Amino acid sequence: MIDISPIAFKMKCNRADVYQAAIGGCLADCGMAKLPPSLLNKRESLTADYYKEIHAHPIFSYKMIKDSSIIKDSVKVAVLEHHGRLDGTGYPKRLKTKPMNLFTKIIAVADVFHAMTSERAYRKKQSPFKVLEMIFHDDFGKFDIAVVKTLLSSSLIFP
pLDDT in tens, 102-145: 999 999 999 999 989 988 777 789 998 899 889 888 788 899 99
pLDDT in tens, 144-154: 999 999 988 87
Q: What is the mean pLDDT of residues 23-39?
A: 93
Q: Hey, which residues does 120 pair with through a beta bridge?
A: 123
pTM of the model: 0.89
pLDDT in tens, 35-52: 988 887 777 777 788 888
DSSP line for 64-87: HHTT-SSS-HHHHHHHHHTTB-TT
CB–CB of 21/104 below 8 Å? no
